[in-house]
A and B are shown apart, each in its own frame.
Chain A
Amino acid sequence: MFRPHGILAPFRALERAIAPSTVRVASYSTSILSSAVTTTTPSSSSTTLLRTNTTRLLPPTTTSLLNLFTRQQVRHASHASQGAANRHSRDPAGKRLGAKRAAGEYVVPGCIIFRQRGTKWFPGENCAMGRDHTIYTTQSGYVRYYRDPERHPDRKYIGVAFDKDGKLPTPRNAPTRRRLGKVAVRFDPADLAINQKQQSDLVAEVTAEGTTVGAVPAAAMNAGLQLRPGYMYREANWQIGRVAEKAGITAQAHRPKNRWLAWRKRVARTERWAQMKSLKNRKSTKKGKK
């Protein structure tokens, strides 16, 4: 929007001279006349009200000037839609932090109890803290919010008690309460012996649906070449690893302190590399000549 500053400058001086008196008049007029005016124009806004009041009370020259000022302070829709510079932009969306489970509520392992920034609360008994300081449970039970001065004088803890009326914190010298959380299953001891003798190996199976990779029973080990990961019929990785051992090849043990050997190897490698490079270059130069 274009505004002629040269014209506005003298008006500003005028404004300074008039403004205090107008304001005073305006407040006065609103207090006295509001009832009368509102009866006449109930739907009009406060600004129009003020303007009507002033126009009635002030001489005509000053009214025209005032109209100019009020027009300057209008904030058009296009302008407002650009957003405020600081106020709103500093107020981001809430992160939904805080307690997700109240004290005494029943929780199962992995249940989130509290989301927070930093450690407002610490994980107590049967609880743990996540990457973003979220407190979650490791055991099923009932949530407790408590302090434990013996552990730390200032910290607040969230714990999970096993019993509905269980108390936290437990005394320092009391044995810890733990759950086993296991079921007893009978196993076949023959499997143990087999597992110790023969190793199983990963084998891929191609079916109509696709390829599945799974462990085959250990007996299939001697059945020859199998389709292995990598989509080839080959021996198992561990069998390949033992080829040198079978062939009776012994390698010299690596001694990190044998710098003489290391130097010779390094020199040989660089020489070989240089040779390869020269061969490559020769090829390319030949091509270039042709």
Chain B
Amino acid sequence: MAHCERASKPLLQCLQKTYTKGLPGLQLQSTRAFQTTALAREEVQTEIKSQPFHKAPDPALVSSPRLERKLLRQGVSPIGSRRRRVALQDSLNIPFEQLPYQCFQEARKVLLADREEKLRDITSMREKISRLEALTTEQAGGEQVKKSKLRAMELHLEHLKIQADINDPLVKKKFEDGQGDMSKPIYRYLADRKWREYRRKILVQRITQMKVVPDVVPHCDPILDTKLYFARRQIQPGEFVDSKASFEAPKLDVQMFEGGEKLVTIAVVDPDVPNVEKDGFDFNMHYMAVNVPISAINTKVDLAQLSTESQVIFPWAPPVAQKGSPYHRLSLIIFEQRDSQPLDFAAIKAQETTRENLLARTLETRYKLKPIGAFLFRTQWDDSMYEVMKTIGYPDAEIELRRKRDEKLPYKRRNTARMRG
């Protein structure tokens, strides 16, 4: 059943028609269903007659690896999974709402009724909110009370909006096909849930195990799905990045799961700059930009393309690791600016003059920032590191770090006389 050319579609459809005709229970509904889609299918059949399937494979139906490769060579990628495409080959192409299964239709009726109820709730909640907003603060019982009430009501409204659509099979299908519209709350909710199921767990594990969280920022509860690309290659959190690849600034894909727009500050901090005199580590700010707008729809941020007049405080400095030094954790922190208000670019530019030992903690307190997203990649000495150091004019490129031997404890002679005693 694997290859569609083996069991060609028209033949299968023919067989199925006769089969369904044989069943008296299904006859009425199925014939009605066929009538609705008969025209479309006739068109398909005529097309197939004009050109055999293997000459022009359909990306939605192709299932043999050979034909898939052929399509890929043409630049068309097959749609969905192979299993799904095989299933589609012998499906009747009946619209989802008209599937001739009684139980299914009854279940749909229940879901539709539930949705109607939720929509009614939404309208009533909207009215309630508008009524409360119309009231004066005295009538509402104080400003604080009114505020908290409004906040709770809005939260409930958002919840209702999600509940109205969450049982809709078409919404689920669209989301799984990657066609979800992130401007709608239901798709944002589903995307958030999916992110929290796996990718967020990985990210949190990496930033805690590699100690980004106490070393760079004291706390971080990521609410942004951050993806990082160096030259179109996606980097997994904590991955070692080749020094050549990280020479240019990365691109970000920052997915927000809330409505509205946010202004964020992006900082890339290296907490592992070796300091031999101190016998410890220093910090270095590799990149900093303020007032970067992000929203659920506008997710792409190219660190190299941000405006140098109004956003970038420190442009990208390629990460370097001296020979023999422990790996450097390049941690990217996305801070939410307070109330999404823009920061004064000129003032910050005037105040922050040096990259060295500029801590993320300092920024947090100085500009009232809150970390809402984090990412991490690592750098170590590699073959191209020396060239990178030379091109950026790194002063200590010829310095190698070697292990220092700890002095031994002084040898103490055992008191054997006491032992004999």
What is the interface of chain A, defined by CB distance below 8 A to chain B?
106-109, 111, 140, 172-176, 178-189, 192, 196
Given contacts A111-B409, A140-B406, A183-B276, contact A178 B214 (CB under 8 A): no
Interface centre among A111, A175, A179 (most CB of B within 10 A): A175
In the bound assembly, the distance between CA atoms of A253 and B274 in angstroms comes to: 47
> How far is B213's CA from A186's CA once the two chains are assembled, in angstroms?
34
B206 smallest CB distance to A (angstroms): 16
With beta carbons under 8 angstroms apart, the residue of B214, B325, B396 that contacts A176 is: B214
Nearest CB in chain B: distance from A180 CB, A: 5
Residue in A closest to B218 when the chains form the complex, CB atoms: A173
Interface: B366 (CB within 8 A): no
Contacts of B199 in A (CB 8 A): none
A109 lies within 8 A of B404 (CB):
no
- Beta-carbon contact of A182 and B324 below 8 Å: yes
Nearest CB of chain A from residue B16's CB, rounded to whole Å: 33
A186 touches B400 (CB 8 A): yes
**Is B397's beta carbon under 8 Å from chain A?**
yes
The answer to whether the Cβ of B131 comes within 8 Å of any Cβ in the partner chain is: no
Chain A proximity mask over B396-421: 1 for CB below 8 Å, otherwise 0? 11111111101111000000000000
B279 pairs with A181, CB closer than 8 A = yes
Contact residues in B for A109 (Cβ distance below 8 Å): 406
Would B398 and A187 count as touching, CB distance under 8 A? Answer: yes
A107 neighbours in B (Cβ, 8 Å): 409
Further contacts, 13 of them, CB under 8 A, given A178-B281, A184-B400: A111-B409, A173-B213, A175-B215, A180-B274, A182-B401, A184-B396, A185-B402, A186-B398, A186-B400, A187-B399, A187-B400, A189-B397, A196-B383
Known A176-B214, A178-B280: A184·B383 in contact at CB below 8 Å: no
Q: CA of A175 to CA of B211 in the docked complex: distance in angstroms?
A: 8
Verify if B386 is at the interface (C-beta below 8 Å from A): yes
A189 to B398 CA separation, bound complex (whole angstroms): 7
Question: Given known contacts A175-B271, A189-B386, is B279 in contact with A184 (CB within 8 Å)?
Answer: no
A264 to B408, CA, bound (A): 65
Query: Are A182 and B276 in contact, CB atoms less than 8 angstroms apart?
Result: yes
Which residues on A sit within 8 Å (CB–CB) of B406?
108-109, 140, 181
- A180 and B280 within 8 A (CB): yes
Output the residue of A106, A111, A180 with the most chain B CB within 10 A. Answer: A180
B238-285 residues with Cβ-Cβ distance < 8 A to A are: 271, 274-276, 278-281
**A60–B275 Cα gap in the complex (Å)?**
99
Residue in B closest to A170 when the chains form the complex, CB atoms:
B214
Taken together as a complex, chains A and B put the C-alpha atoms of A192 and B387 apart, in Å, by 11
Say whether A180 contacts B399, CB under 8 Å.
Answer: no
Shortest Cβ gap from B398 to chain A (Å): 6
Q: Which of B213, B214, B219, B275 contacts A180 (CB 8 A)?
A: B275
B 201-240 contacts with A by CB, 8 A: 211, 213-216, 218-219
